[in-house]
Amino acid sequence: MVLVGVATCVTSNRFTRRHVLRTVGTAAAVGLGGSGVASSAAAQDDDSGAADTDSPYTETYRDTIDSVVLVTVTRTIGGDRGGGGGGGLGSGFVIDEQHIVTNNHVVQSAGEGGIEIQFNNQEWRLASIVGTDPYSDLAVLGVEDMPDIAAGLPLVESEPAIGQEVLAIGNPLGLNASVSQGVVSGTNRLLPSPAGTSIPATIQTDAPINPGNSGGPLVNLEGEVLGVVFAGASQTIGFAISSRLANRVVPALIEDGSYEHPYMGVGVVPVGPDIAEAHGLDEATGVLIVQVVPGSPADGVLQPVSRGRPSTGDVIVAINDQEVTTQAQLQTYLALQTSPGETVALEIVRDGETQSVELTLASRQEFDRAQMPNGGGPADRPSIPSPDRG
């Protein structure tokens, strides 16, 4: 599956939403706009003549749109404003009287004074970066003198139901204040992050997601944020970073500018029938350790499979008495229920016998920094040939 990053490049130093509409309108007319099975509608700059309707989608849209913003990067690191190097365009949403949430990949190239925010009433504000987290692809922006129309949108704490109706609100292709409708198609997906790791607990939706939607809210019909729009893979497959994860990351970004992710240091694969038979398991469930990262919390505690010996290696079947059936379930538990420095109890199957072991989780960032040469970043870490690592 090819994931499409959904921030849009821009090169002008200052523009209005009407300018963007004029720019992309022709492109959309020749097939770049795309539409999915779910319905999609773009609001006009002046909707004063819109007819009243009883649609729940319209009511939700009206209740939330003043809190959704256009995020533009007009000055990049090492570049000048309007210097032709290109910036980024995406979406974001207000969470309180000072802060906006968006995707890290929308603003990661921004230089000082290079982020501009436009609200639904056409007011502009400069924004500064309060905190970023490339591992979850979340960022928090600070805005002084927030417009009165912008109220904070709440992030829900619970997992959404599959089939639940949702709206993706943002600025696809720069088309301002747009809304697309769909349902929650899946939960607890694992998606690759720009940092080279996996983002757990991700929400899948069939609401159309296009470039420019990045960082906008995926809301339920009560106007509550279920997730932060992240990427689109096709016209009917889009993804959002779960508000359950954002509820952990965003407060830390506001308080400290960063978030420390828990880290075990293992590579795992799902247990299928062949692996289950080799390990004497009654059912094909759990995850097999295929790699232990040297120096990580798992080093010396867990054993990986040996080449050519399929019956070797530990199978994790539970963590802190919670059953583990898939990689996604393990990583979601680690991301949402644990913290660096916490000791977790693992139930494993080793050599056909069930036993319990404990390990103390590290901070992924601290471990990655220790493994990288001076000046390195997340993209510079050594390649780990395993499908999922946590």
Whether residue 37 is predicted with pLDDT greater than 50 in this model: the reply is no
Query: Is the separation of the CB atoms in 187 and 200 below 8 Å?
Result: no
Q: Evaluate if residue 361 carries a pLDDT over 90.
A: yes
> What does pLDDT average to over the chain?
83
Poorest-pLDDT segment among 33-37, 64-68, 90-94, 306-310: 33-37
Please tell me whether residue 60 adopts helix, strand or coil conformation. helix
- In the set 67, 91, 105, 261, the catalytic residue is 105
pTM: predicted TM-score of the whole model, two decimal places = 0.82
Which of 40, 67, 136, 214 is labelled catalytic?
214
Residue 383 reports pLDDT greater than 60: no
Hey, how many other C-beta atoms are within 10 angstroms of the C-beta on 238? 32
Shared domain check, 300 and 278: yes
Residue 236, domain CATH: 2.40.10.120
One domain for residues 240 and 299: no
Picking from 226, 256, 286, the residue at the C-terminal end of a domain is: 256
Render pLDDT for 177-189 as a digit per residue (tens, 0 to 9): 999 999 999 999 9
pLDDT above 80: residue 314: yes
pLDDT at residue 307, rounded to an integer: 87
Length of the chain measured in residues: 390
Together in a domain, 235 and 266: no
Do residue 244 and residue 266 come from a single domain?
Answer: no
18/141 same-domain check: yes
Give the confidence band of 81 by pLDDT, cuts at 50, 70, 90.
low
Q: Please confirm, yes or no, whether 261 is among the known catalytic residues.
A: no
pLDDT tens, 99-154?
999 999 999 999 989 999 999 999 999 999 999 999 999 999 999 999 999 999 99
Active site residue 137: yes
State whether 108 and 192 are in the same domain. yes
Both structure tokens of 299: 């080093």
Number of domains observed in the structure of the chain: 2
d(CA 229, CA 94): 14
Buried b / exposed e along 205-216 (16+ C-beta atoms within 10 A): bbbbbbbbbbbb
User: Which pLDDT score, from 0 to 100, does residue 310 have?
Assistant: 83
Quick one: 43 and 188 in the same domain?
A: yes
DSSP-assigned letters across all residues of 276-309? HHHTT-SSS-SEEEEEE-TTSTTTTTS-PPBTTB
Whole-number pLDDT of residue 80: 59
Average pLDDT of the segment spanning 66-89: 76
Percent of the chain with pLDDT over 70: 78
Q: Which stretch of DSSP H or E encloses residue 183?
A: strand 178-192
178 is a catalytic site residue: no
Q: Name 192's bridge partners.
A: 198
In the set 40, 109, 137, 193, the catalytic residue is 137
The stretch 287-308 carries a mean pLDDT of 95
CATH number of the structural domain spanning residue 292: 2.30.42.10
Tell whether 103 and 212 lie within a shared domain.
Answer: yes
Range of the structural domain that residue 288 is part of: 262-389
